[in-house]
Structure 1
Amino acid sequence: MTEILRRVRAVRREGASVLLEVDAHPAVRLPGTPGWLTGEPVTDQGVETTMPNLPELRLPPLSSRPWRVRVSVAGPRTVRITAAPDGARVWDEEATWLGIVTDACPEPVEPDITEDDGHVNVHTGSVRVRLTRFPFAIEVLGADGRTVLRTAERLRQVAGFPMAPPVLADGDGGTTLHCELGPEEEITGFGEQFGRLVKNGQHLRLRVEDALGTGTGRAYKPVPVWHSTAGYTGFLNTGATVTADVGHTRPSVLALTADDEALDLYVCADPDPGVRLGDYTALTGRPPRPPLWAFGYWMGRCRYHSRAEMEQVARGMAEHDVPCDVLHLDPDWLVVDRLNTDFIWNTDRFGDRAEFVAALDRLGCRLSVWELPYLDPASPRYVEAQDRGYLVRDTAGDIARLRGTPTPDGRPRALIDFTNPEARRWWQNLHTDFLADGVAVFKTDFGEGLPDDVALADGTPPQHAHNLYPLRYNGAVSAVIAERTGRAPLVWGRSGWAGSQRYPGQWGGDAESTVAGMRATVRGGLSYALSAPGFWSHDIGGFFGPELTPALYVRWTQLGAFSPLMRAHGLRPREPWQFGERALAISRDWIRLRYSLLPYLWQVATESAAQGWPMLRPYALHHPHDPVAAGLDGQFLLGADLLVAPIFDDGEAAVPRRFHVPGGDWFDLLTGERYPGPGWHTTVVPLERMPVLVRGGAVLPRIELPDRFRRTDDLVGLPWTLHVYGTGDREARLTGFDGTDTTVSIRETRVTATGGQPIRTEIVRHD
């Protein structure tokens, strides 16, 4: 039976929270017409009884089920609103119980709680929640008193039937929150979605899937976090599948349905989305800054089949003067390598692992190794894991079977139960010898295949288990890397959920090698940046599909050079010399340009880790009041000072590129041409160019690259040159590669620096 929350019956304060007892009444939807009705008097429900063609109303019995709604404060700008029936598990658990929230209240605030005959108010000074007693409703107001979020009880059809009750339980285990969408309100976020950045008009199912590409409508990394231009960020603290209907069914309604008995909603109210992201990541965790080498160029292929083949690629990088920090090895390192990882090294193909890692290091490259959290029954380790109780079981007690990803031979694959501490430790220990031998990073692939009917060791309810699985998987691998190496950990993960930003990095999955695939990739990265901010990247050239044109390879390499992390990878060769002399020359220039900008990338990475911001940033993150900002999903900011406009084209000819710049002056990084803002500009760009603009007023630290250097290690200790854009004196604080800070005072005639990082005494001005 569907139920609607209708009347607050009692209110009591519980410490810094307020708990409301609310009556939920059974409700029916009338056949052939939108809207819901309970058994209450129709006048209490707002029905237009004077309508001449009002149908006969058959109301359900008027009964009540007790629900609770609790409002608590999670920070000066953040409130938590929990709604569930009496007896729901959420009432017995802390906010951190699912492992998504890591700090329930990062900045404690004592709220002011008041009530009168009509309302209950919870006020922190920066945000206020107003709850209406009857009919039950929720409203959230910002510091300036303006409403940023309100439930949609006011929205009705012509006969007055309410179309979007504030909280509705559907009787099948789902709970829906209906919010009004304002006339100009735009919604962004919901994780790595490959469609338009503004989600208005879209219907999204937030469930971790092997998306099988970027054009299927599925998502590897959906996240129940969204931003509204009204001035708030919302977050559902759940592992359950969430459906987000963003004005799709009803144009003025944002409907959020969790496949669970409870709604656990966090709302952060502030006009600045950067502030809101900082508050969200304070709740759910911020990523560590990856090591410097992670920001170099990575090369991979599915697959390299032998040690000799990979060493030849490493030598090819040197011969073609292409710097490279990491070579990636996909599943051929395994003996049983089809959707299986048992950490049994294939010595026939790659010889002794430590010797192989050392050989690559002498050639200038670190080693990245592929894994997934599944075991094939053909593996010798399967029986060990089964006998020790390390494999996920279903609710019938049998070994759970991988779902959602086609298997090459029909054999069922099992999954590691990361909620079992012994299983987690066993899996982590399988990495130990690899790390001891010098493996630098693990590509934590897959993780989307947990079935729904599982009984995990820690008792996680089945409806939460599937989406939480990649969070726990990546967390286990990240933790053992940190433990065994003593440095900031780094994985290269495909699947994710809320909180996954804690475990950098992630990449955009298996994009098609087409212009459409490249376009979807940028949209996915921008959308993910608003929900799991940190260190995200993509496969340069796309993973599969039609053979890459040399021009598209170049355009994708240009995009990669200004992405947080830079990796070329695909089913077919991705080495730059595979695409002809012109493509090689242009790609090499852009790869080297990235290395020259490592000091700037390091500043952005430092800021992102500290503030809880993404490196790759939607335009609106820094310019939320620009009326076109929210919808700009074909360009992005890398940090606050670089604006990048990728070229979505696969031809050799020069093409026009239209882009929007914020207020102030912006300068082309390569040509110095000035672009005043705010406004639109169009420029014609040959294959050798992509618009990369520097903000007027920026101080851009760079390195003058030596000849024939191999990787980031060769640049440590070299002095930085400061490129100053625009006139005037200024101060800058820079973090060196060794983590020490340097304060720089820039005057028209000189530069002075105090701190650890060597800075050249001259500066380069761009006016």
Structure 2
Amino acid sequence: MFGKIISYEIDSNKINIKFEDKIGSIEIITPDIINIFSSFRYEDHFSRAIEDLKTIECNFDIKRENDYLEVVTDKLIVKIYDNFKVDFYNKDLELLCGDYRGERKPLVRCEYNLASIEDHKVEESTDELNIQVIKKLKGDEKFYGLGDKTGYLNKRGYEYEMWNTDEPMPHVESFKALYKSIPFFIALTENNTFGIFFDNNFKTHFDMGKENEEYYYFGSNDGNLDYYFINGNNMMDVVGGYTYLTGKTPLPQMWTLGYQQSRWSYYPESRVKEIAEGFRKNDIPCDVIHLDIDYMEKYKVFTWDKEKFSDPNKFLSDFKDDGFKVVTIIDPGVKKEKGYDIYEEGMRNRYFATDKDGITYVNKVWPGDAVYPDFSNSKARTWWAENQKIMMDAGVSGIWNDMNEPASFNGPLPDDVQFNNEGRGGDHTEIHNIYGHLMSKATYEGIKKITNKRPFVITRACYAGSQKYSTVWTGDNQSFWEHLRMSIPMLCNLGLSGFSFSGVDVGGFSADCTKELLSRWVQVGCFSTLFRNHSSMPTRDQEPWAFDEQTLNINRKYIKLRYKLIPYLYDTLWQGETTGLPVMRPLVLHYSNDKNVHEINDEFLFGENILVSPVVEQGKRTKEVYLPNGVWIDYWTKEEIIGGKSILREAPLDLCPMYIKKGSIIPNYPEQRYIGDKQIKELTFDVYPGEAEYIHYVDDGETFEYKDGKYNLYQFNMTENEDKLNIEIKTPYLEYENKYDTFKIILNNLDINKVKFNNMDVEYKENNKSIQVIIPAIQGILSIKKK
């Protein structure tokens, strides 16, 4: 396709290479990130994921050898051969990732012939893609990422498609596509780690060694050859590199981290109030109630059904007075109805997608005949953004974008449906995978401009980079134990793919949940960033009190635990806005040198310090838990356990096995009915002695003023020897007006005989296996003398 290398020229960080038949380029984004590009459709990248790419000016050398070009950065050696074959080496000349030189070899299957009772080998046809990159397999690769594809954490040996799909059938491991398209994966080998982001929003294919164990490949029949090789010393570096390109998950409003209750559908107004009262009456914290499609008039977006909600403004205002926020669903399908202002305005301005003859395209969704906003048109996005004012002015706190694959009832949108595509023109094959992404972007920008607060947007469909604009959930799951089990690797791979703010429908959306399943699912939901219970109209009630007293108590226990851990979660998200690291993390992210964690699907880390090993099988009351190297403390019993082994933990229905890494400082909030229920002047720190450094972050929890420096930092440095434990407290930055008065320090598993703060004796209380100390929230050294 490319032919032999003819010549090359250097243009800043880019090397343009002339082959016999095409032009290719190698661009050095950073010393660790290299872009491989060749124009097949567009002369430029035209990326929807990468919006503000900053290349780092760096030194590199290039030389021409007999049969290849060699580009050397401070971290990588890149060799480019004829036909645009590209190999990546580290500085020790160890091959990290090399192109496969042979032809694709079809998967061989056996056909059983009953007539002759003999096996016949049948070769499947190999579908060659117009653009394809085939990489050699060394043999020990593990693959992670690719968004929330079903199945297990390690994607080696599977194939996938990136084509946003509203699939109503129960999701199983064999699904090639779901609602999201995140064409990024991380490869882990025995000695190296790297990532590849194939920035092509047409339908793309990923075969991770299923077709043949000699290679893996990715490609498409349209778009450009445009992929980024991301080198890293470890998986954390690779995630950081990927989010350097596509963007970090921004810090959300703090209330969005609270518990959220949803159903298709809560209406009328009296039913919503009944649900809210249920939380307060049953002493269960809750911040958010969601309204599904039935709050609208005839399913028309940006409207209210006045029979169900006679005065939305008053209703929402009263709700806020009791600490509840309301999030409303908005689908992209706009009802085709004369006199309906959203439809009429969109038609006047040609804001809707058309057929190939320029006629507005019509399909069916919830409102019946509906038209589709063209979110690839910047003017249409601005219009959609401005319409968010209708909901914000009513008192809505967040927007939930659904059905934005886009979904349709009267067959899928034809490939030739036309879009503006930022003035370039394009059809549905190009816009499909970014439709939800652009809808989320419009929604985010509208809410931000109208409220000047951090927008809360939820989306079902998205593309790489949507983490900048929206939280996500994994879509319409089922109340099946298998879906609970599968939710852990799905959320972990979403986190590795840049989406730190994600969750699933706790309890399952479709089918009838059981009390045991809900009890176990809330123990996972407690640790996912988006913590929402959501269920479907025909199913049984799924609120925490819908079953029996035991189920109610278990829900209360873990929802209250979530609120206790809010400051730790908020700190983790604040750190992630810089590092790109997610909240919910597979063990392999931090312990990739331990082969025992490469395939663990039923455990995860909550931040770096808390290991969670939930029960995900019906009837089980014990759990095999693998603890990586180090010392881990059982959260419930405070037993210290040396890691690097598996243990068997008793796990009655009300207990989720949790372990804290030795040398951890975990900030805790007091009990609250909702976030902001009380002003917190005394913060608790749950301390597990050892060597540690921890930074606690505080801001107003809702605006962008933290971007202008209005926040506080509290730094804790903990050191320990045989005789003494010291915690040095620093306040390196205090520019936000609300400051703590005191700190309550809980010291676990420590026998002491004296406590001093800034050389002054301090009283302490002994409580079972812990010591409690209250000190002023100022700089100083807390010194604990051991017995």
Q: Equivalent residue of 1:191, what SS?
A: coil
Q: Equivalent residue of 2:150, what SS?
A: coil
Find 2:279's aligned residue among 309, 317, 321.
317
CA distance in 2, matches of 1:668, 1:388: 61
Residue equivalent to 1:644: 612
Q: Cα gap change, 1:514/1:761 in structure 2, threshold over 3 Å: closer, same or farther? A: closer
Residue equivalent to 1:488: 454
Q: Cα gap change, 1:252/1:722 in structure 2, threshold over 3 Å: closer, same or farther? A: same
Residue equivalent to 1:119: 68
Find 1:150's aligned residue among 98, 109, 116.
98
Contact 2:139-2:213 at 8 Å conserved across structures? no
Deviation at 1:289, TM superposition (A): 0.6
Which ranges of structure 1 fall in alignment gaps of 5 or more residues? Answer: 24-65, 159-169
CA distance in 1, matches of 2:104, 2:371: 49
**1:221-370 to 2 correspondence within 5 Å?**
221-230=180-189, 231-260=193-222, 262-337=224-299, 341-370=300-329
Deviation at 1:177, TM superposition (A): 0.6
CA distance in 2, matches of 1:553, 1:74: 47
Residue equivalent to 1:536: 502
Contact 2:261-2:289 at 8 Å conserved across structures? yes
Contact 1:742-1:757 at 8 Å conserved across structures? no
Find 2:635's aligned residue among 646, 649, 669.
669
**Which residue type is aligned with residue 115 of structure 1?**
R
Residue equivalent to 1:686: 652
Answering whether residue 77 of structure 2 is matched by residue 80 of structure 1, we say no
Deviation at 1:320, TM superposition (A): 0.4
Deviation at 1:382, TM superposition (A): 2.5
Which segment drifts farther, 628-637 or 730-739? 730-739
**1:149-169 deviation per Cα after TM superposition (whole angstroms, max 9, x unaligned):** 1001157889xxxxxxxxxxx
Answering whether residue 354 of structure 2 is matched by residue 393 of structure 1, we say yes
**1:501-544 deviation per Cα after TM superposition (whole angstroms, max 9, x unaligned):** 11231111111101011122222212211213320011110100
Contact 2:262-2:532 at 8 Å conserved across structures? yes
Answering whether residue 163 of structure 2 is matched by residue 201 of structure 1, we say no
CA distance in 2, matches of 1:766, 1:751: 19
Q: Cα gap change, 1:550/1:762 in structure 2, threshold over 3 Å: closer, same or farther? A: same
Percentage of identical aligned residues: 25
Residue equivalent to 1:180: 136
Residue equivalent to 1:60: none
**1:521-600 to 2 correspondence within 5 Å?**
521-545=487-511, 547-571=512-536, 572=539, 573-600=541-568
**1:416-435 to 2 correspondence within 5 Å?**
416-435=373-392
Q: Cα gap change, 1:330/1:115 in structure 2, threshold over 3 Å: closer, same or farther? A: same
CA distance in 1, matches of 2:316, 2:282: 22
Residue equivalent to 1:54: none
Q: Equivalent residue of 1:131, what SS?
A: strand
Deviation at 1:675, TM superposition (A): 2.9
CA distance in 1, matches of 2:473, 2:646: 30
Contact 1:141-1:269 at 8 Å conserved across structures? no
Contact 2:131-2:221 at 8 Å conserved across structures? yes
Find 2:403's aligned residue among 433, 446, 450.
446
Deviation at 1:106, TM superposition (A): 4.4
Q: Cα gap change, 1:727/1:407 in structure 2, threshold over 3 Å: closer, same or farther? A: closer
Deviation at 1:209, TM superposition (A): 0.9
Contact 1:214-1:521 at 8 Å conserved across structures? no
Residue equivalent to 1:47: none
Q: Cα gap change, 1:315/1:603 in structure 2, threshold over 3 Å: closer, same or farther? A: same
CA distance in 1, matches of 2:269, 2:105: 68
Answering whether residue 575 of structure 2 is matched by residue 607 of structure 1, we say yes
Q: Cα gap change, 1:141/1:716 in structure 2, threshold over 3 Å: closer, same or farther? A: farther
> TM-score when scaled to structure 2?
0.84
Residue equivalent to 2:16: 19
Contact 1:189-1:227 at 8 Å conserved across structures? yes
Contact 1:288-1:489 at 8 Å conserved across structures? no
Q: Equivalent residue of 1:328, what SS?
A: strand
Deviation at 1:438, TM superposition (A): 2.2
Q: Equivalent residue of 1:121, what SS?
A: strand
**1:721-732 to 2 correspondence within 5 Å?**
721-727=684-690, 730-732=692-694
Find 1:762's aligned residue among 741, 745, 751.
745
CA distance in 2, matches of 1:600, 1:643: 14
Deviation at 1:725, TM superposition (A): 1.4
Answering whether residue 123 of structure 2 is matched by residue 140 of structure 1, we say no
Residue equivalent to 2:370: 413
Q: Cα gap change, 1:342/1:185 in structure 2, threshold over 3 Å: closer, same or farther? A: same
Answering whether residue 677 of structure 2 is matched by residue 714 of structure 1, we say yes
Residue equivalent to 1:27: none
**Which residue type is aligned with residue 732 of structure 1?**
Y
**Which residue type is aligned with residue 563 of structure 1?**
S
Q: Equivalent residue of 1:712, what SS?
A: coil
Deviation at 1:377, TM superposition (A): 1.6
**1:288-319 deviation per Cα after TM superposition (whole angstroms, max 9, x unaligned):** 11111111111111111211100111111111
**1:85-136 deviation per Cα after TM superposition (whole angstroms, max 9, x unaligned):** xxx4432x2x4x2321123334332422221222201221112211124x75
Deviation at 1:753, TM superposition (A): 5.0
Contact 2:333-2:371 at 8 Å conserved across structures? yes
Residue equivalent to 1:619: 587
CA distance in 2, matches of 1:281, 1:98: 14
**Which residue type is aligned with residue 360 of structure 1?**
F
Q: Cα gap change, 1:254/1:156 in structure 2, threshold over 3 Å: closer, same or farther? A: closer
Deviation at 1:460, TM superposition (A): 4.9
Answering whether residue 417 of structure 2 is matched by residue 468 of structure 1, we say no
Deviation at 1:596, TM superposition (A): 0.9
Deviation at 1:746, TM superposition (A): 4.5
Contact 1:223-1:532 at 8 Å conserved across structures? no
Contact 2:638-2:748 at 8 Å conserved across structures? no
Contact 1:130-1:140 at 8 Å conserved across structures? yes
Which segment drifts farther, 179-188 or 667-676? 667-676
Find 1:70's aligned residue among 21, 25, 29.
25
**Which residue type is aligned with residue 561 of structure 1?**
C
Q: Equivalent residue of 2:618, what SS?
A: coil
Deviation at 1:765, TM superposition (A): 2.4
CA distance in 2, matches of 1:485, 1:309: 28
Residue equivalent to 1:31: none
Contact 1:315-1:363 at 8 Å conserved across structures? no
**1:54-65 to 2 correspondence within 5 Å?**
none
Which segment drifts farther, 625-634 or 663-672? 625-634
Contact 1:741-1:757 at 8 Å conserved across structures? no
CA distance in 2, matches of 1:761, 1:528: 35
**1:356-399 deviation per Cα after TM superposition (whole angstroms, max 9, x unaligned):** 11121223211111111111224723243223201011333222
